[in-house]
Homo-oligomer: A and B are copies of this chain.
């Protein structure tokens, strides 16, 4: 009898998470790992439905991402946005010419009744991605950032205001009533599911919007397999994005320990960077198993190594390794 495959679930937001997911996609076959992606950043702009985190992961897995920008597509051109500017259109959210095709197709498919899950499956397949990429919900979840300037829709905070206004808190519109898709339910209920990884994404605006969906968090808590998180904070700083700035503004200590504490009710294990080894004992004090690894992913080999570290850690936590 052939051994059943161990299956894994990775929960991810933007660029940092996508790097680790790329590692998983190289390490594990398409039937061994699925990706659940934040939709709290999604918004309607210029009549288009834009899903930044889904696109970041899709372009990353397809080998199309733009490493210089950290978003969008490589070899991109910008004639649409220049023409839009001349016509007096809204240009605060930059859209590349090729990237636009993704938003146009998604918007059209959604209008004709396809779910975001179906749209994402179609787009990823067309770009040659075999692994399953799943939005956390087909129902809208929209992150609102409460700031010194008042509440801001996520992209207004993140792009238009360049994360400058000090953050006071967050709200995830729609999360309370958002349902899980049949596809995500199937992944969560799969008897071969062997572990879950929370990728090194921003806990507040990449992971929390997903955890704010009650059915998702309940399903994670009900699992009999371990959940581990990878710290997005290394040496007190975020590799990318406003995580560290947000922690300071929220009066949370800017450390990997604070990230572990943030997830304390959910995770069994925590992976932090070797630079933060001194914090291991404190995290262990939260009753969370901790390992250190090289979490700064520069090369593809780094991504695959960290993915392997996470899988090995999950095996050990299951008592199988």
Q: Report the interface size class on chain A.
A: 20 to 34
> Which of A46, A104, A126 gathers most chain B CB within 10 Å?
A104
A101 touches B77 (CB 8 A): no
Q: Of A83-91, A156-164, A259-267, A276-284, which stretch is located at the interface?
A: A83-91
- Decide if A287 is an interface residue (CB 8 Å cutoff): no
A101 touches B126 (CB 8 A): no
From the candidates B83, B101, B108, B127, name the one contacting A99 in the complex (CB within 8 A).
B83
- Decide if A166 is an interface residue (CB 8 Å cutoff): no
Residues of B within 8 A of A99 (CB): 83
- In the complex, the count of this chain's copies comes to 2
Q: Closest CB of chain B to A218's CB: distance in Å?
A: 35
Q: Closest CB of chain B to A264's CB: distance in Å?
A: 41
Chain B, Cβ-Cβ closest to A89: B105
B77 touches A108 (CB 8 A): no
B123 touches A87 (CB 8 A): yes
From the candidates B83, B88, B104, B126, name the one contacting A88 in the complex (CB within 8 A).
B126
From the candidates B77, B87, B102, name the one contacting A77 in the complex (CB within 8 A).
B77
Residues of B within 8 A of A105 (CB): 84, 87-89
A107 touches B47 (CB 8 A): yes
Chain B, Cβ-Cβ closest to A110: B47
Residues of B within 8 A of A126 (CB): 86-88
A82 touches B98 (CB 8 A): yes
Residues of B within 8 A of A123 (CB): 87
